[in-house]
Copies of this chain bind each other. A is one copy, B any other.
Amino acid sequence: METATLENNVEQSTTSELSFQIEKEVLLNGLRIVERATAQNGYQPVLANILFDAADKTKINLYATDFDMTISTSVEANVSSLGKITLPAKKILDIVSRLNDGIIDFVLNGTVMTIKSGKSKFDIIGISATEFPKIEYLTEEDNEIELDLKPFIIGVKEVCFAAASFESNNNLLSGVVCDINKNVLEIASTDGNRLSRAKKIISNKDDKSVKLIIPAKVLQEFMKVSFFIEEDTIKLYTKNNKIMFKSDNITMISNLMNGQYPQYNQLIPQSFPKEAKVNVKKLLSALERVSTMVDEKKKTVKFSFTENSLNLMSATPESGNSEDEIDILYSGEDILIGFNYQYLLDFIKNVDAEDVIICMNTNLSATVFKPNNEEDYIYLVMPVQIR
């Protein structure tokens, strides 16, 4: 039996290197926070693992990294023997989530972790903690800024989707600019065809200023991790092209991106001769209907603005065409303008407002969408040329 080898290993080893007891739900929470930083691609098996490190008698620190991003947290535990080991994230999550509620026992022998809960027992083969990458922390001496968490997360949600989705971290447009100046956070991203920019008032004790380009992927993960943060603020530390987000219990480290980010504010027109007020729900359902007939290569939906009316049209030579009409508030000149419908859906699904204002110049110039209830969040889209 395959089990024999493992059990023999366990018996041969007499002193345990790490042992602790932990509440199931507490551990599960911790695992769910760090697992998003694991790399499951198989190139370096230890990166698919979570490092369990009992630094003192009352808690276990959990770490995961894919080199681009590192997340750590600590969970309360009753530690009887200090030590560390890395365990496969997927297996350990599978197991812990299926255990009955209650206390789980962990006992390490060599690289085999024995897990017991009630009558359930598992021996999991880990990888030595010495193979886990050394994590370079930033310290409190490094450039520190303390931000209100909520407006920061809202800003991230409002702009992240407009970043370019390039795999490579070298492409600046796959980053998000965070420009903190006294008590204003300006956060923006653009993929060259559209731009999303939000401004948030934040408390900033020491009136510090900093401009950072953070990978959009990292901010998206931070947004998810932030649900586990109980405090109202988050501390940012920066040094040598690294950034560290730190709350009481969660630390996230990422590389920063370097380079000259486009001067995006220069792209935003200062005035718009044509402004239409459009109900978000009506626009969403009309756009979803009309886009059933969109040419998926071009993704173009035509918007025809006439007095208090917006007509949406789409067509594809093979399938046919579609149109829809919604009542709006508009008193400007008639204008016919084409948009990539996917760009508009991204915005409409992320905006938290009843109405949006669509601000136009010509049908070839940058068009700005903004929620009716907020001046400082704008979404700029370059129209598609239509015949």
Contact = CB atoms under 8 A, between A and B. Distances in A.
Interface of A: 1-3, 5-6, 88, 91, 94-95, 98-100, 112, 119-125, 285-286, 288-290, 292-293, 295, 313, 315-326, 386-387
A326 B6 CA distance: 23
B119 A321 contact: no
A1 B292 contact: no
A313 B313 CA distance: 62
A315 B3 contact: yes
Contacts of A292: 91, 94-95, 98, 122
A88 B386 CA distance: 27
* Residue from the set A100, A112, A322, A386 with the largest chain B CB neighbour count within 10 Å: A322
A119 B312 CA distance: 10
Given A98-B289, A112-B320, A292-B98, A3 B121 contact: no
B123 A325 contact: no
Given A1-B386, A3-B321, 19 more contacts: A5-B317, A6-B315, A95-B289, A95-B292, A98-B285, A98-B292, A120-B290, A120-B324, A122-B292, A122-B293, A122-B320, A122-B321, A122-B322, A123-B320, A123-B321, A123-B322, A124-B320, A125-B319, A125-B320
Number of this chain's copies in the complex: 2
Contacts of A91: 292-293, 319-320
A13 to B, nearest CB: 15
B122 A2 contact: no
Contacts of A324: 119-121
Contact of A3 (B119, B286, B289, B313): B313
A296 to B, nearest CB: 12
Contact of A2 (B124, B285, B316): B316
A108 B122 CA distance: 66
Nearest to A88: B319
A326 B1 contact: no
A183 to B, nearest CB: 44
| Shortest 3 CB-CB contacts between residues of A and residues of B | A2-B315, A119-B325, A124-B320
A322 B94 CA distance: 12
A144 to B, nearest CB: 42
A133 B6 CA distance: 62
A315 B325 CA distance: 62
A99 B290 CA distance: 10
Contacts of A119: 324-326
A323 B95 CA distance: 11
A319 B92 CA distance: 11
B6 A125 contact: no
Contacts of A95: 289, 292, 322
A187 to B, nearest CB: 33
A2 B88 contact: no
B125 A318 contact: yes
A125 B318 CA distance: 7
A120 B98 CA distance: 49
Nearest to A93: B292
Contacts of A286: 120
Contacts of A1: 315, 386-387
